A and B are shown apart, each in its own frame.
Chain A
C-alpha cells in the first residue's frame, strides 16, 4: 500500500528493507549503548536494567523511523515516555531529599532550587545589565536538588540548541510529552477552529515575563505561570499569595496540558503559552535544517496544517512553501502529506532534492541529543519505578 503511494507520488520516501534500516540504525545503536554505559556499570540493579531498556527503546524507535520512513509517530513514543517519566523520577527525588514537592525558603536561600531550561530567557536581561541571576539556584553544583547547577543546564541548552535549534521542543523538552500524549488520545479533534492569532500569545507572554523578571528581579514565569510546577515542584505556600500561585499552576496544567490537548489534538501549552518555546523559535533562524513544502506537487489539501501540533503552518506559509518560525521539526506534516510535498530540507539546497538525506542528517543529530539528554531522564524515571517493583 505504502509502496503504491510512493510510486504514485514520487515525493514520498518508500519504506526500506530491514537490512538497510538496520545499517542506518547502527550509528545510533552504538551511540545509545555508549550513553547507557555509565548506568550499566552502576551497582544498582534497577539502574542497570533501566539503562539497558532505555538504550534498546531509543534504538528500536530509530530503527522504525528508518524502516518506515515515518518520523513523527515513532518520535512521539520517545517524547511521551520522556514527558511521563520525568515527573516520576523528579518527584521521587524531591520526596526522598526534601519530603515535599513544595520548595521551602531554606532551600531557595541555600541555592538548591532545581534549575530547568524554562527560565533561561527571563534571566538574560538582568544578567546582562547587573550580572545577577534572578533565580534561587547555584551556578555550580550546590548539593541537594541543585543538580549540576545553572551553568551546566545553560551549557547543555546552548549545545543542544546549536544542534537542533527549535527542535529542542520535540527532542529535548521534558515537559511537552505529557500534552503530546494527551493530544494523541482522541481519534479526532473536538475543537477544530482555533483562532490563528492565538499563536502570538507566547510572544506576548515572553515579552511580559522578560520585563516583569527584570522589574521584580525574580523568575516571573516560574513564580506565576508555569503549568509544570504542578508536576515538578512549587514554592511552598507560606501565605495567600503562595496559595494563589499554586492554584494558577494547577489550573493552567489542567487546562493547557490535559483538557485542551484532548479537545484540539494540539500541544496547546506549547502553542498558546510557553515563552521558552517562543524564545527558542528564534533559533530556527540559526538552524541549518528546516521543513519546506514543494509547491510543484502541493494540492494543497492542508493535511499538513491540520496535523501540525503547534499550528506552525498557515495558509500563507503553505503558499510560500515553508513553515512558520515556531516549527519544532517534529515531522508530523511530512508524515501526513499524502503526496510527499512536505519535505525535510537543508538550507541552501534545492527543495525536494534528496529530502531523505536532509531527514537522515537531521535525525542523526536530533536523536543523538535525544538519547543523550532525554535518554538519561527516561533512565532515571524507569529506575525509580523498577526500584519499587524489584
Chain B
C-alpha cells in the first residue's frame, strides 16, 4: 500500500521540479495570459469609466466619460469625468460650457487656468447649468469624485453628480 503513494509522491515532486524550470519559459506567460483573458477591468473610480463621446473644440477635444457610480460603502460621490487634451493646445484660461448628457443643452461650465509648468497645482470652478451636476469652487484633488488633475497630455475634471 505504501509503494504506490510513495511512487506518486516522487512523481509529483519530480513534476514540481519540472514546473520550476518551466516557470520563466511557459507557466508565467500562460498564467499571465489567462489572467488577462478573464475580462477584468480596473475599478472605474480610478480609471474614470468608459468614454461616452468626444466634443471637438478649437484645436483641442473634450472627452466625456460615462457616469461612474460608487459601489456598496465606497465613500466617493457619483461623478462624470471630462478630459481636455492635448494640454499644449489649450488656451491659458479655459471656460467651456459642456453638454455632458448629449441633449444639446450645456450642463456645466468648467473654468480653469492652464499653467505652463506641469507641476503647478491645478484649480477648477464648475458652474452648474443642470441640477443633476454639483457646482465646485476652487477645487484641487482632494477626492476621486471631485478633482482636477493633469495626467500625461490631458487635464481631467471630475464633476460630482447630485443623486446617487
Residues of A within 8 A of B (CB): 35, 104-106, 108-111, 126-127, 130-140, 150-152, 154-156, 158-160, 162-163, 214-218, 238-239, 287-289, 346-350, 358, 361-362, 364-366, 368-369, 372
Q: Is B120 an interface position by the 8 A CB rule?
A: no
A217 engages B16 (CB within 8 Å)? no
Query: Would A368 and B71 be within 8 Å (CB), given that A135-B42, A154-B31, A350-B6 are in contact?
Result: no
Q: Is B56 an interface position by the 8 A CB rule?
A: no
In chain B, positions 4-57 with a C-beta closer than 8 Å to chain A are 5-6, 8-10, 12-14, 16-17, 19-21, 23-24, 27-36, 38-48
Bound CA span A126–B41, Å = 11
Among the stretches B91-99, B103-111, B143-151, the one at the interface with A is: B143-151
Q: Which of A131, A288, A372 contacts B40 (CB 8 A)?
A: A131
Residue of B nearest to A106 (CB): B149
What residues on A are CB-neighbors of B8 within 8 Å?
348
Complex A-B: 17 CB contacts under 8 Å? A104-B141, A108-B46, A110-B152, A133-B41, A133-B42, A139-B42, A151-B35, A155-B29, A158-B31, A159-B19, A163-B20, A216-B73, A217-B43, A346-B9, A349-B6, A349-B10, A365-B19
A105, A287, A350: most-surrounded residue (chain B CB, <10 A): A105
Bound CA span A261–B60, Å = 57
Residue of B nearest to A127 (CB): B40
What residues on B are CB-neighbors of A132 within 8 Å?
40-44, 71
A218 engages B74 (CB within 8 Å)? yes
Query: Would A348 and B142 be within 8 Å (CB), given that A130-B71, A139-B36, A369-B20 are in contact?
Result: no
What residues on A are CB-neighbors of B73 within 8 Å?
215-217
Q: Which range holds the interface residue count of chain B?
A: 35 or more
| Least Cβ–Cβ distance between B57 and chain A, in angstroms | 22
What residues on B are CB-neighbors of A215 within 8 Å?
72-73
What residues on B are CB-neighbors of A364 within 8 Å?
17, 20
B21 engages A155 (CB within 8 Å)? no
A358 engages B71 (CB within 8 Å)? no
Query: Would A154 and B35 be within 8 Å (CB), given that A109-B48, A111-B42, A217-B71 are in contact?
Result: yes
A217 engages B70 (CB within 8 Å)? yes
Query: Would A106 and B141 be within 8 Å (CB), given that A155-B31, A162-B19 are in contact?
Result: yes
What residues on B are CB-neighbors of A150 within 8 Å?
35
Bound CA span A108–B6, Å = 51
What residues on B are CB-neighbors of A365 within 8 Å?
16-17, 19-20
What residues on B are CB-neighbors of A346 within 8 Å?
9-10, 12-13
What residues on A are CB-neighbors of B44 within 8 Å?
132
Bound CA span A118–B74, Å = 21
A-B pairs with lowest CB-CB distance, top 3? A348-B9, A155-B32, A155-B31
Residues of B within 8 A of A (CB): 2, 5-6, 8-10, 12-14, 16-17, 19-21, 23-24, 27-36, 38-48, 70-75, 141-142, 144, 147, 149-152, 156
Residue of A nearest to B19 (CB): A163
Bound CA span A369–B24, Å = 9
| Least Cβ–Cβ distance between A338 and chain B, in angstroms | 27
What residues on B are CB-neighbors of A158 within 8 Å?
31, 35
A216 engages B75 (CB within 8 Å)? yes
A368 engages B31 (CB within 8 Å)? no
What residues on B are CB-neighbors of A133 within 8 Å?
40-43
B39 engages A131 (CB within 8 Å)? yes
Given contacts A133-B41, A348-B9, A369-B23, 20 further A-B pairs with CB under 8 A are: A109-B46, A109-B48, A109-B144, A109-B151, A109-B156, A131-B41, A132-B43, A135-B42, A135-B46, A139-B40, A139-B42, A150-B35, A152-B28, A152-B32, A155-B32, A156-B31, A159-B27, A159-B31, A163-B16, A218-B74
Bound CA span A152–B35, Å = 8
Query: Would A238 and B20 be within 8 Å (CB), given that A109-B149, A155-B32, A214-B72 are in contact?
Result: no
Bound CA span A104–B122, Å = 13
What residues on B are CB-neighbors of A35 within 8 Å?
24
| Least Cβ–Cβ distance between B141 and chain A, in angstroms | 5
B32 engages A105 (CB within 8 Å)? no
| Least Cβ–Cβ distance between B81 and chain A, in angstroms | 9
Q: Which of A137, A350, A361, A372 contacts B42 (CB 8 A)?
A: A137
| Least Cβ–Cβ distance between B66 and chain A, in angstroms | 15
Residue of B nearest to A161 (CB): B31
What residues on A are CB-neighbors of B38 within 8 Å?
127, 131
B23 engages A159 (CB within 8 Å)? yes
Q: Which of B34, B141, B152 contacts A238 (CB 8 A)?
A: B141
Bound CA span A347–B5, Å = 8
B71 engages A136 (CB within 8 Å)? no
A349 engages B29 (CB within 8 Å)? no
Residue of B nearest to A218 (CB): B74
Bound CA span A171–B141, Å = 40
What residues on B are CB-neighbors of A350 within 8 Å?
2, 6
What residues on B are CB-neighbors of A130 within 8 Å?
71
B13 engages A288 (CB within 8 Å)? yes
